[in-house]
Amino acid sequence: MKKIVIIHPYLNCRGGAERKVIHLRNYLKKEGNIVDIFTFDFSKESTFYEYLNDTSNIYELKGNYIYKLIKIIKVCRREKYDICICSNYPAHFYGYVIKKLSTIKSILWICNEIHSKLNPPKTLVKKIFTIIEKKIIKNFDNIITNSKNTHNQVLKYFHKKSTIIYPGVNMNTIGRVKDEQKKYFFCLSRATYDKNIIFLEKIIKNSSHNIIFVGSGPMSSYLEDLERSYNNFEYYKNVGDNEKNRLFSNADLFLFLPLNEPFGVTIIESLNLGTPVISFNSGGPKEIIINKKNGILCDNEAEYIKYISDYNHKSFAYEPEYFKSYVTRNFSLNQMLKNFGDLI
C-alpha cells in the first residue's frame, strides 16, 4: 500500500483531464492505496459526479498561492505521502516545492499540454515563471504525456523525455444508441476560445445538415447568439451521459474544431460509438484518425468547409464496428489505468 496525493487545480468541469484524474484516483484506491486529491475549485455536480461515490478524500483549498502552498506542505508532512502526482498547470509548481519540503519520495507530472507554450510569457513576472518552470521540471521523476505530439513538445521545450500514456474511454459503459435518421453533425467541447469555437459559424453557414453543439464556458453567450441567428443550429450547455451517447451515435459526423489539440478524447468517444470524425491535420488527432478510414484530416479551413459542404457518408473505407474495435485495441480505459499503475 502506498499513500498518494494528486494535485489537480480545477475539478469543476467535465474535461478530459478531470475525467482522467477521477478514474486514476478510483483505480489506485481499488488497488489498495490511500489516495487524496488537492484542488482549488471543486464542484461535484459540474464534474464527473457519476464516478465520485466518495468525496471524503478530495480537499478544496481556497486563498492565494502562498496560503495554498503552506496548507499543502502541512498536510503532506502530516500524512507522509509516498508519491505526488501533479496534473495540469500550475500543479507542478506546487509539487516541486512540497517534494523539497516534505517526505515525498517520488513525483510525477501528468502533462496534457505545455501551458507556457500555449500562453507565451509577455510580462516580466511570467517570463521569470517560465524560466523557473524549465528548471523545476528537471526534478521530476517522470513526466507522463498524453500523445506523441505532447511528448515531442516536452522534449523540445524542457529537454526531458516522457512516458506516453494515451487517454482511454470506458468500453463497458458506452454503447451505440442508433435510433433515428435525423441528419445532423455533432460537436461536444468546452466553449472556450482555444477550442476554435469561432470557426463554428462558418460551418453552420456552409452546411445543409443541422449542427448540434454541447458544452459550456466563456463563449456560451456567443453560442446562444448563433442559435438565435441560424435555424440549423442547436445549442445545449450540458446533457446527461445517455443523451450524449445518443447524440454521438446518431450523428453523421463528429466535428472536432481545435487547431492544435494535444490529444482529443472526444474523438475516441465518437469513434467508439461508431461515428467518424473530421478534424484539422495537426496535434494529437493525427495519432487517432486514419484519414478516409475512420475520419477526415483537413490541412486548412477551406478544406474543412469544402468537406462539410460536399459531405458524403461513403467517404470512409470502414463501418462503425471497425471504429469501435479500433478504439478497443488502442484507447481503452483499462489499458490507460494499467499503464499508470505500472509506473506508480
Pick the CATH number of 3-164 from 3.30.70.240, 3.40.50.2000, 3.20.20.220, 1.20.1260.10: 3.40.50.2000
| More confident position, 173 or 34 | 34
Q: Do domains 3-164 and 184-330 have the same CATH topology?
A: yes
Which residue ranges make up each domain of the chain? 3-164, 184-330
Q: Using one digit for the tens of pLDDT, what is the confidence trace for 156-177?
A: 888 889 999 999 988 765 555 5
What is the grid cell recorded at 339?
A: 499503464
First vs last C-alpha separation in the chain: 11
* The CATH number of domain 184-330 is 3.40.50.2000: yes
Band (14; pLDDT cuts 50, 70, 90) = confident
Measure the CA–CA gap between 107 and 125, rounded to whole angstroms: 26
Q: What share of the chain is helix, strand, coil (3-state, %, to 5)?
A: 45, 20, 35
Residues 263-287 as b or e (16 or more Cβ within 10 Å = b):
bbbbbbbbbbbbbbbbbbeebbbbb
Integer CA distances (angstroms), 203 to 224, 291, 311, in order: 16, 20, 12
Band (128; pLDDT cuts 50, 70, 90) = confident
- Taking alpha carbons only, the member of 114, 117, 116, 95 closest to residue 106 is 95
- The pTM (predicted TM-score) of the whole model is 0.86
What is the grid cell recorded at 11?
A: 475539478
